Structure 1
Amino acid sequence: MTDEPDLRHHGDAEVRAAGLVDLAVNVRTGTPPEWLRAHLAATLADLAAYPDQGAARAAVAGRHRRPVEEVLLTSGAAEAFVLLARTLRPRHAVVVHPQFTEPEAALRDAGHTVHRALLHAGNGFRLTADAVPEEADLVVLGNPTNPTSVLHPAAAVAALARPGRTLVVDEAFMDTVPGERETLAGRRDLPGRVVVLRSLTKTWGLAGLRIGYVLGPAGLLGELAAAQPLWPVSTPALAAAVACSAPAALAEAQAAAETVAEHRAHLLKGLTQLPGVRVHGEPLSSFVLVELAGAAGVRERLRSAGFAVRRGDTFPGLGADWLRISVRDPATGDRFLAALAEVIRP
Structure 2
Amino acid sequence: MRGQLIGTPPDAGDEPDLGHHGDAEVAPGLIDLAVNVRRDPMPDWLADPLVAALGQLAAYPDPAPARAAVAARHGRPPEEVLLTAGAAEGFVLIARALSGARRPVVVHPQFTEPEAALLAAGHTVERVQLDPADDFRLDPARVPADADLVMVGNPTNPTSVLHPAAALAELARPGRVLVVDEAFADTTAAPGAPGEPESLAGRRDLPGLVVVRSLTKTWGLAGLRVGYLLGESALLTRFAAAQPLWAVSTPALAAATACASPTAVAAERAIAARLAADRDHLVARLSGLPGVRVAGRPASAFVLVHLPGAAEVRQRLRDRGWAVRRGDTFPGLGPDWLRIAVRDPATTDAFTGVLAEILEA
Smaller-chain TM-score bracket: over 0.9
Q: State the Cα distance separating 1:292 from its structure 2 match.
A: 0.4
Query: Structure 2: which amino acid aligns with 1:314?
Result: T
The answer for the alignment partner of 1:47 in structure 2 is 57
For these two proteins, the number of residue pairs brought into alignment is 343
Q: Secondary structure at the match of 1:130?
A: helix
> 1:95-150 CA distances to partner (integer Å, 9 max, x unpaired)?
00000000000000110000000001111110013221111111000000000000
1:167-225 C-alpha deviation (Å, 9 max, x unpaired): 0000000000121010000111113x000000000000000000000000101100111
Match of 2:130 in 1: 119
Q: Which amino acid aligns with 1:278?
A: R
**8 Å Cα contact 1:61-1:67 kept in structure 2:** yes
- Work out whether residues 37 and 220 of structure 2, in 8 Å CA contact, stay in contact via their aligned partners in 1: yes
Aligned amino acid, residue 67 of structure 2: R
Task: Give the distance between the partners of 1:298 and 1:27, measured in 2 at CA.
Answer: 23
1:153 equivalent to 2:169? Answer no
- Determine if the alignment matches structure 1 residue 164 to structure 2 residue 175: yes
- Tell me which residue corresponds to 2:192: none
Cα displacement string for residues 297-321 of structure 1 (whole angstroms, at most 9, x for unaligned residues): 1111001111100000000000000
Structure 2 equivalent of residue 183 of structure 1? 199
Please list the CA deviations of residues 145-171 of structure 1 after superposition, one character each: whole Å capped at 9, or x if unmatched.
000000000000000011111000000
- How far apart are residue 34 of structure 1 and its match? 4.4
- Give the CA deviation at 1:38: 2.9
Q: Assess if the C-alpha contact under 8 Å between 1:122 and 1:280 holds in 2.
A: no
Structure 1: stretches of 5+ with no match in the other structure: none
Question: Alignment partner for residue 142 of structure 1, among 153, 158, 178?
Answer: 153
2:290 pairs with 1:275? yes
Match of 2:87 in 1: 77
The answer to whether residue 256 in structure 2 is matched with residue 245 in structure 1 is: no
Q: Select which of 312, 336, 340 maps to 2:355.
A: 340
Describe the SS at the equivalent of 2:294: coil
* CA deviation vs aligned residue, 1:41-82 (integer Å, no higher than 9, x gap): 121111111111110000000000001000000000000100
The equivalent of 2:326 in structure 1 is: 311
**How many angstroms apart in 2 are the aligned matches of 1:163 and 1:23?**
41
Gaps of 5+ in 2: 1-12, 190-194
Q: How far off its partner does 1:31 sit?
A: 4.5
- The question of whether the paired residues in 2 share the 8 Å contact of 1:31 and 1:204 is answered with no
- The separation in 2 between residues aligned to 1:104 and 1:159, in whole angstroms, is 22
Residue 14 (structure 2) pairs with residue 3 (structure 1): yes
Q: For residue 60 of structure 1, what is the amino acid of its counterpart?
A: V
Aligned match of 1:28 in 20, 38, 55?
Answer: 38
Which among 232, 236, 259 is matched to residue 274 of structure 2?
Answer: 259
Deviation at 1:29, TM superposition (A): 2.4
Tell me, in whole angstroms, the C-alpha distance in 2 between the residues paired with 1:20 and 1:284: 26
TM-score by length of 2: 0.94
Distance 1:224 1:129 in 2: 26
Q: Which residue of 2 aligns with 1:65?
A: 75
Q: Which SS does the other structure have where 2:119 is aligned? A: helix
Bigger CA drift: 26-35 or 110-119? 26-35
**How far apart are residue 243 of structure 1 and its match?**
0.3
The AA in structure 1 aligned to 2:110 is Q
Q: Is the 8 A contact 2:295 2:303 kept in 1?
A: no
CA distance in 2, matches of 1:256, 1:10: 24
Q: 3-state DSSP class of the match of 1:319?
A: coil
Q: Secondary structure at the match of 1:180?
A: coil
Aligned partners of 1:31 and 1:76: how far apart in 2?
21
- 1:32 & 1:94 partners in 2: Cα distance? 38
